[in-house]
Chains A and B, each alone.
Chain A
Amino acid sequence: MGCSDVKQFLLCTGDVTKNLKSGIWNASRSVSNLELIKALENGSLQELKNTRDMVDSQTKIFVAPNDSLQNLDGKADDYEIIVKLFFLDGKNDSLNGRRETTDQVFFYLSQLFGIHSVSTLVASFPHIVFSKEGLNSSSNSRVYSSIDEVPQKEIQSWIDTWKILEEKIHDGKVKTLGVSEFGVPELERLIPNVEISPESTQVNNGGECKLPSELTKYAEQKHLKIFFHSDPSILINEDEITEVIRHAWPNLPARARADWVVRYTIVSRNTSVINRKGYLVKASLL
């Protein structure tokens, strides 16, 4: 396999809950990607040579060395498995791209962990933030400061992507769907146009406990649960991902960009003990 063939990378952080240097201990209500970055940087990722036909010759897989990729102990039903899928393909929101991403995610979950279905899949779409305070149309080209700025094409891509996710429900691979950083304006564009409503939205409102009444009223009407999260709108930037891959593979010929990230969290329903939590990052050469 020649180096010039390699175009894609899959990075597996392994379980982030078991060591002192993990970014999990930075957990707070403030926006941060430390948990992911520390896991990638501290993980001393090594190339997985025996990829068991998981990937083609154009993709390299890197894993955390001490983390044996294990299947779940016991019955799948005993666990609550939450997967947050960050679509990072800012420039590439083609339907095919989204479908490929979603299929890849479930393929890797099953190959790496023996997970065939998840309790909740939360979709994170690019460019959308819940808390629009302090944003104006020129402040940040990467997020929209109001729903009116979002092009119809992009709104349509939410709906089309959602249909792909709904298929996963029909296939028995997902029980419920959730969405990230969607407030009332975004939800009003999504919900009327989809078959299966999201069961939840997760927002970052700067650490406040009090939620805007507009959202809580809407959520009550639509039977939506509200969660908090602290993921930044750009989960991992080009510099960060390039640095990580180069560290694991010094022969990296060019810069890289992250296409998608999955965070998986597995908790035992009966004992509330966390089984594991980690990330999968898919990146491409620029």
Chain B
Amino acid sequence: MGLLVLGTPLDWPESEKFHDYVRENGIKQFLHMYDSFISKKQDILLWGDEIEYIVVSMNNDQKAARVSLRQEQILKALGDYEERFKHVDFSPIYAALKNTNCSKQTDAILNEAAANPAKFVERLVKENPSFASNNEDIPFRAQFTVPTFHPEYGRYMLESTPGAPYGSLLKDFLYVEHNMLLRRKIIENHLLSHEHPLTITNFFRLGTTHFTDPETKANGHISRSFFLPDDIINTHVRFPTLTANIRQRRQRKVAMNVPIFFDKNTPKPFRDPTVPWDRDLYPEDKNAKEGAALEDHIYMDSMGFGMGCCCLQLTFQAKSCDEARLLYDQLTPITPLMLAISAGTPAFRGYLAEQDCRWNVIAGAVDDRTKSEMETVPKSRYDSVDLYISNDPRNLPEYNDVPVVTNEGCYEQLIKGGIDERLSRHMAHIFARDPLVIFSDNIQQDNSTSNGHFENLNSTNWQSMRFKPPPLNSSIGWRVEFRSMEIQFTEFENAAYSVFVVMLSRAILSFNLDFYMPISLVDKNMVNAQARDAIHRKKFWFRCNPFSDTEAPPERGQFKQLTLDQIFNGEQTEDGFPGLVQIVRSYLYTCNPDAETLCSLDRYLRLVSKRASGECLTEASWIRNFITTHPLYKQDSVVSPEINFDLIKRITSIINGESDESLFGDCRC
């Protein structure tokens, strides 16, 4: 969620004076990074994941589930854990985990590792000398290092990442699930007994009454929301500043309207009785009745509804700048597809929605466009990619077919600085936005040693893919970030989706796959991906032949609409598209991993395959099903506190190992 700098943020009117300054110096910093690192060829695949959690506080007597606002204390405790164990070599723990198939044993190992990894490792190595690694220095890889924990927008949220990247061998992919399990276990160890870390995209009753622990009131002046108290915002000054500045820039509250799911007893038309239409605390309160809140929709009026969502993000390092640009382009058409099969957000603010994903809600939650900019600037600063950036000859100019706003001054500065046209246009588009948070003590920066101004803008353009130049003072190379996926309940699923995308990226590079299609079609796919039950009800644009062989006849139109089942599992016709899962499977088998690795990774492919075919439910469908078949559900689209409690209880048991065939089939074991 951007970089946390210490200091005093300027208020919006003050900061406006510095916008061009930040832009100009941000470009200078980019040019410096580019020149320093353009010849950097890392040659190694390193990658990592980011997982976000919602800490839920359960009250079994009241049958109430709420979000716990103790983020600050929890993070402090986790930070102490990190500091205390930063010199421990964790690899014997992974060796022990590898050796067991029994879930009770796995749980026991994770418990000891979470409690005191130093003592545990000492004991393990004594009992199993073969577990000791022979390295003098601890290698900087996920299986050796303590995981790290970070704050996020919501004061009920946590984020965890592996402490170091995963490596490039297929064997390294086996660490992912265990690493994720360990991270959750460590978090659990630092929570109170009634608190649980859930990897769900959103808290189903966020913004209803009594949804926080401790109790809070929605009357804060920062977000001015009808529903979300300012207390749910992370206390670090960056977050409330971001919230207030977005609201100030656009001169009205943010407004997200998600169509309500009409069930048998849902009032039609739907005028939300929980909206305090006549509140008069703040000037923005009248936005709702003046048209910001739409009929038949679930109205949300604060950044927290978007940035308070959790998701699954992956970052991987490319061999070079060119390869990073190629991967950025080739993965862009994949982002809506992974969004669709990871769908997990069918409910907002206590109501069932007529959509299954969070994407457009976050887009609206940080949309800083003024009323007149709504005509001239096509998208929110959080939304899908607008431009392909690679110089690959297959990147035809006609694929960049959507209007894009760029900052002319920045563009000229980049071209003069020797950057090629495509990358210049991309950066000038990123820099067309205003910097949202400027810290007074961070305005003066040495452009040859700092990239703060660059990051200010690059990290507040939240796109479905992000292109990340190498940071200064580090050996890290050119990277791309895959950002569209929704988080899943279990580590098995999160590992499956992560490893699938990473293997797909390897398959793209191995087989010279070409998924290019016009951005306008990718955008159409993004819309369809969020639809309720997109698996069964929507088709997606896809390139007719992503293979580079010159003998294939040029298809009429070159792009066609397929179901997700066809895209992932193949067209099942002679010379039809084999499907992304089969392509990844062919990649996997060709790499010749040993039997255990192959079987472990294959179960990830089977899950992705079954989610795309509908044989296994997406989490959105599963949640929707749980709600609508709950005995207390009144067929009125309302997710009551009791239903919410039972749903969260069930999710918690699934996380703890309870099986669910509708979600996983036979893949999880």
Contacts and interface: CB of A to CB of B under 8 A. Distances in A.
A25 interface: yes
A78 B168 CA distance: 13
A63 to B, nearest CB: 16
A20 B552 contact: yes
Given A17-B511, A265-B592, A273-B509, 17 more contacts: A18-B512, A19-B549, A24-B590, A25-B578, A25-B582, A27-B589, A209-B595, A225-B594, A270-B43, A271-B43, A271-B45, A271-B509, A272-B591, A273-B506, A273-B510, A275-B510, A277-B590
A211 interface: yes
A20 to B, nearest CB: 4
Contacts of B169: 269, 272
- 10 nearest CB pairs, A to B: A19-B549, A274-B510, A25-B578, A209-B599, A27-B586, A20-B547, A271-B45, A273-B509, A226-B595, A270-B44
11 contacts: A21-B549, A21-B552, A27-B585, A228-B595, A267-B590, A267-B591, A270-B168, A271-B168, A271-B506, A274-B511, A277-B590
A18 B511 contact: yes
Given A20-B552, A271-B319, A271-B509, A265 B590 contact: yes
A272 B595 contact: no
B136 interface: no
Contacts of B585: 27-28
Contacts of A17: 510-511, 590
A273 B577 CA distance: 21
A152 interface: no
B38 interface: no
A274 B45 CA distance: 13
Interface string A39-83: 000000000000000000000000000100000000000100010
Nearest to B545: A20
Contacts of A78: 43
Contact of B45 (A18, A270, A275): A270
Interface of B: 43-45, 168-170, 319, 506, 509-512, 545, 547-552, 575, 577-578, 582-583, 585-587, 589-596, 598-599, 602
Nearest to A19: B549
Contact of A21 (B550, B575, B586, B587): B575
A18 B590 CA distance: 13
Nearest to B591: A267
Contacts of A218: none
Nearest to B319: A271
A186 B319 CA distance: 44
Interface in A248-280: 265, 267, 269-275, 277
A228 B598 contact: yes
A269 B599 CA distance: 21
Interface of A: 17-21, 24-25, 27-28, 66, 78, 82, 200, 209, 211, 225-228, 230, 265, 267, 269-275, 277
Nearest to A16: B590
Nearest to A178: B592
Contacts of A82: 592
A19 B513 CA distance: 9
A17 B548 CA distance: 10
A228 B589 CA distance: 9
Nearest to B317: A271
A277 B551 CA distance: 19
Nearest to B588: A27
A230 B168 CA distance: 25
Contacts of B512: 18
A228 B594 CA distance: 7
Contacts of A230: 589
A66 B587 CA distance: 22
Contacts of A21: 549, 552, 575
Given A18-B549, A27-B585, A272 B594 contact: no
Contacts of A271: 43-45, 168, 319, 506, 509
Nearest to A122: B592
Nearest to B547: A20
Contacts of A18: 511-512, 547-549
A24 B575 CA distance: 12
Q: Among the interface residues A17, A226, A273, which one has the most CB atoms of the partner chain B within 10 A? A: A273
Contacts of B592: 82, 227, 265, 267
Given A17-B511, A211-B595, A24 B548 contact: no
Contact of A272 (B506, B511, B552, B589): B506
Nearest to A203: B595
Nearest to B599: A209
B567 to A, nearest CB: 14
Given A19-B547, A19-B548, A274 B582 contact: no
B170 to A, nearest CB: 7
A274 B319 CA distance: 14
Nearest to A65: B551
A232 to B, nearest CB: 15
Contact of B586 (A25, A211, A273): A25
A27 B590 contact: yes
A270 B545 CA distance: 29
A19 B551 contact: yes
Contacts of A25: 578, 582-583, 586
Nearest to A74: B43
A40 to B, nearest CB: 15
A188 to B, nearest CB: 20
Nearest to B585: A27
Given A17-B590, A270-B43, A272-B168, A227 B548 contact: no
A109 to B, nearest CB: 17
A230 B549 CA distance: 26
Given A271-B168, A273-B506, A227 B550 contact: no
A240 B416 CA distance: 61
Nearest to A28: B585
B598 to A, nearest CB: 6
Contacts of A27: 582, 585-586, 589-590
A227 B506 contact: no
A93 B591 CA distance: 31
